[in-house]
Amino acid sequence: MPREINAAGYRLIKEFEAGPQGNSQPAQVPYRCPAGRWTNGWGNTYGVTANTPPITRARAEADLERNLDWAEDRVDRTCPGANGNEFAAMVSLCFNIGPEGFARSTAARLFNKGDKAGSAAAFALWRKFQDPRTGRLVDSPGLIRRRSVEQALFLTPAEGVAAVPAVVAPLPNLPGELMPQAVAPERSAASSKTVIAGGVAVATGAASVVDQVSQLAPTLETINEVGLSLQSFLKLGAPVLSVIALAAAAFFLWRYIAKKRRGEVMST
């Protein structure tokens, strides 16, 4: 029987693949995603055109299940042995970037090498799309936030299921956060600073990385004490996020250099 995504991953996908109205609701009428593809339901592009008639919520649910089937199958075959949260995070990534993109991704390759921290950081390589108006590759605010939450879920211990809903608490779609349904391929990760910068998201949501970047503990403890949600945390502003970014980037840079010296980093 094919493996299925857990509740946290299902909730994550419904949040980020919501239509223009947000609130984890499907798009019942077609809309153009930021990459210019006609989309309905929860990130469904199969057979969708400008003339596709409105769909029911039941049809949106059925389309989501069909699309999840191929994403779950690809992740299960590409990265066997993932725990529930790792699997869910990778299914969300695969759902967004496509089965072929996931199969050749640095995230999948590093996971299969046993480098889970590196795999989580590599999620951040998939953050750009081609703007149909200019033809240029641009960062997507929605993709950046999604990769951050996927990283946090990926690094949440499997036994820490109770903590997962807080990591992926529903957030309304913000301006510019609709999902591009055609994500640009990642750049080479062997020397990419983007992988190192991916530690920013990991530091905000994953206890395992917070433990390794101990200087962040006072900030995170303060956040917990005042009961801020992830949404509130993301609104703390540039000073706090910059501290987190620098600390996380420093850790991943140190880790990358150490592994390269040991010959554990492969050129691509």
Q: State the Cα–Cα distance between residues 115 and 56, nearest whole angstrom.
A: 42
Q: For residue 223, name the pLDDT band (cuts at 50, 70, 90).
A: very low
Q: What is the mean pLDDT of the chain?
A: 76
160 confidence band (pLDDT: 50, 70, 90): low
Q: Is the pLDDT of residue 233 over 50?
A: no
Interhelix angle 7-16/141-154, rounded to 10 degrees, is: 170
Residue 206: C-alpha distances to residues 35, 97, 132, 167 (Å): 30, 23, 35, 8
> What average pLDDT does the segment 3-30 reach?
94
Domain ranges of the chain: 7-261
Q: What is the CATH number of domain 7-261?
A: 1.10.530.40
- Cβ atoms of 250 and 202 within 8 Å: the answer is no
| Partners of 128 in the β-ladder | 139
Kind of pairing, strands 128-130 and 137-139?
Answer: antiparallel
Could you tell me the two tokens for 128? 């750009």
Inter-residue long-range contacts of 93-99, CB under 8 Å, 24+ positions, other chains counted: 93/123, 93/126, 93/147, 93/150, 95/13, 95/17, 95/43, 95/67, 95/68, 95/71, 96/16, 96/43, 96/126, 96/143, 96/146, 96/179, 96/183, 97/126, 97/183, 98/183, 99/70, 99/71, 99/74
User: What is the mean pLDDT of the segment spanning 235-247?
Assistant: 41
Helix (H) or strand (E) holding 148: helix 141-154
The answer to whether 142 touches 173, Cβ cutoff 8 Å, is yes
Task: Give the tens place of pLDDT for each residue, 98-134.
Answer: 999 999 999 999 999 999 999 999 999 999 999 999 9
